[in-house]
Amino acid sequence: MSVSRQQRAAIEDRRANVRRLLSSKATDHEIAAILSDQMRIEVSHDTVRRDRLFILAEWRERGHEALEDTIARERAELEAIEREAAINFASSKDPRFLQVRLAAKERLSRLLGLDAPTRREVIAQVTTTDADAIDPSKLTDEDLEALLIADRVRLKLAKGQG
C-alpha cells in the first residue's frame, strides 16, 4: 500500500502525539479518545496500539545504537589509559603503573564480554493472549515496518549484541 506525503505527514503527527501521551502513562484507549477529540477524526485503539509498537521499537533501536556508541567511547578511553600506563611503566619501572594497566585491561575485558560468563538463574513466565495476536492482512506498510524494526532489535539482542 502506497502512502502519500500528506498521509505520511498525518501519521507522523499522530505518532508524535502518541509519543507525548505515552510518557503520561495513558492507555491505548485513553490515547485513542484524546486523539479522536484533537484530530476530529476517529482514531481506534488498534491504530494507537500499532503506533505504540512502532514507537517502542524505534526507541529500542535508538537505545541500542546509543549503547554501541557508549561502548566504543569507553573502549577508546580504557585503551588510552592502558597505553599511557604501559609507557609510564617503561620509563619509570614504577609498579603502580602495572596496577593501573591491569585494572584498565580487566575493565576492558568486562566491557567487551571477554571474561567467562557468570551463571545466573532466571525464572520467568511468559504468556500470550488473543489480544497479542496480529492479523497480517490488516497491517499497513508502517505496521510491517514497526514489526521489522522490533524483530531486528530482538535478533541483535539474541545474538548478544545488546
* CB-CB contact of 10 with 51 (8 Å): no
Cα-based torsion angle of the residue sequence 127, 130, 133, 138 in order, rounded to the nearest 10 degrees = -170
Domains of the chain, residue spans: 5-116+138-158
pLDDT of the chain along its 162 residues, tens only? 577 899 999 999 999 999 888 877 888 999 999 999 988 889 998 999 999 999 888 888 888 888 888 888 899 999 999 999 999 999 999 999 999 999 999 999 988 888 776 666 666 655 555 555 666 667 777 777 777 777 777 777 777 654
The size of the chain, in residues, is 162
pLDDT of amino acid 64: 80
Other CB atoms within a 10 A radius of the CB of residue 36 amount to 14
CB-based contacts of 44: which residues, under 8 Å, 6+ apart? 32
Threshold 0.75, pTM exceeds: no
- Taking only the tens place, the pLDDT of each residue in 101-112 is 999 999 999 888
